[in-house]
């Protein structure tokens, strides 16, 4: 979507050098691809083996290593940091590692934003999470409701750690005039997702269960909870587009939701995935396992108004693409779980 007061994407990015933390990951790989398509001058993808962003010295080294010397003898930092790196997982991983998820995500974000401000990086794009919303926030989740309660318990520490980036963004803008933005994507899905059953989110976990059961002729699969919670899902390439539109066009610290406005129960989601993968066996619901947050659905008008973002991928087609990718990888033996 182009508008007279918004810059042309190619013109905006052609002289920009950008650090994309988590750029080798699921969402990050799509952001990097779209940056390349837009002609970004330089895309830097720090690997955790080289830069442990929970460590302050590594964060400082990353920013120092990516500065450029100028003709006048000064050094110029990168033009933007897009911070996607996070320690993430499904309900099980969050329940087993609440302290780790809190500490690692807090340290990565807080230190990177602070050090980016200190060295003069012109803009910082912080990615939050729908898990930051209160457990019983009114539906649809509006950005104004972020502080009206505590997040759902099974992923609260992750959500709170990421929400601190919003506090930091707003206070650094107030005190220092620093340009950082904070985006709240809903649950993502699509090709290249994490299908490890120990750490995956709901869609890849259910795709793997159904596909593997169908291939192995298993008579039944087991799913967590009772299937009643609802979720909204955003196709990963749409999320990447929303992030880059905000990076180009949005310069404020009001939080902004990124979603699709498509809500579905987990029970209906599993039925759809079973149908698309060809699994026709029994589905057993393990009600001793937690459901997680009762409902998730975002109000998305702010993103459209402020930087022209709307999702475009139909949900069923996005699921087909995710399943096709998993099928191809699984049959080729290319998955490393």
Distance of CA 173 to the CA centre of its chain: 23
In degrees, to the nearest 5, what angle opens at C-alpha 318 toward C-alphas 312 and 322?
Answer: 145
Beta partners for 80?
A: 18, 123
Strands (E), the chain: 17-21, 42-44, 68-69, 75-76, 80-83, 123-127, 180-185, 187-189, 220-224, 230-235, 256-258, 263-265, 282-286
- Using CA atoms, how far residue 231 sits from 102, 134, 247, 248, 293, in Å, is 23, 15, 26, 29, 9
> 51, 133, 158, 172: which is the annotated catalytic residue?
158
State yes or no: is 158 an active-site residue.
yes
Q: Which helix (H) or strand (E) is 315 found in, with range?
A: helix 315-331
Interatomic CA distance for residues 242 and 249, integer angstroms: 10
211-293-22-113 Cα dihedral, nearest 10 degrees: 180
Query: Strand, coil or helix: what is 290?
Result: coil
What are residue 68's phi and psi, to 5 degrees?
-120, 135
Q: Which active-site residues does the annotation give? A: 158
């Amino acid at each position: 979507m182009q508008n007279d007061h918004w810059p042309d994407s190619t013109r905006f990015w052609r002289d920009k050098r950008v650090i994309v933390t988590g750029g080798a990951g699921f969402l990050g790989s799509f952001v990097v691809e779209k940056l390349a398509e837009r002609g970004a001058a330089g895309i830097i993808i720090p690997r955790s083996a080289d830069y442990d962003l929970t460590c302050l010295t590594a964060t400082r080294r990353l920013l120092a290593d990516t500065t450029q010397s100028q003709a006048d003898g000064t050094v110029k930092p990168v033009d933007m940091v897009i911070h996607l790196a996070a320690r993430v997982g499904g309900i099980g991983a969050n329940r087993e590692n609440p302290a780790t998820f809190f500490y690692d995500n807090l340290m990565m974000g807080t230190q990177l934003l602070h050090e980016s401000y200190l060295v003069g990086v012109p803009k910082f794009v912080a990615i939050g999470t729908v898990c930051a919303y209160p457990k019983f926030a009114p539906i649809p989740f509006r950005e104004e409701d972020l502080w009206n309660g505590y997040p759902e318990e099974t992923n609260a520490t992750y959500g709170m750690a990421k929400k601190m980036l919003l506090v930091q963004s707003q206070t650094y803008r107030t005190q220092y005039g620093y340009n950082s933005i904070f985006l709240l994507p809903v649950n993502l899905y699509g090709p290249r997702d994490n299908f490890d059953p120990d750490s995956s989110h709901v869609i890849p976990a259910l795709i793997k269960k159904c596909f593997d059961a169908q291939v192995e002729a298993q008579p039944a699969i087991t799913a967590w909870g009772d299937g009643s919670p609802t979720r909204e899902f955003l196709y990963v390439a749409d999320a990447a587009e929303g992030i880059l539109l905000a990076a180009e066009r949005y310069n404020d610290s009001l939080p902004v939701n990124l979603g699709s406005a498509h809500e579905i129960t987990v029970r209906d989601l599993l039925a759809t995935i079973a149908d698309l993968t060809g699994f026709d066996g029994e589905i057993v619901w393990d009600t001793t396992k937690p459901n997680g947050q009762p409902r998730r659905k975002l109000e998305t008008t702010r993103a459209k108004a402020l930087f022209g973002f709307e999702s475009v991928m139909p949900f069923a087609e996005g699921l087909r693409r995710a399943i096709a990718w998993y099928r191809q990888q699984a049959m080729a033996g290319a998955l490393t779980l």
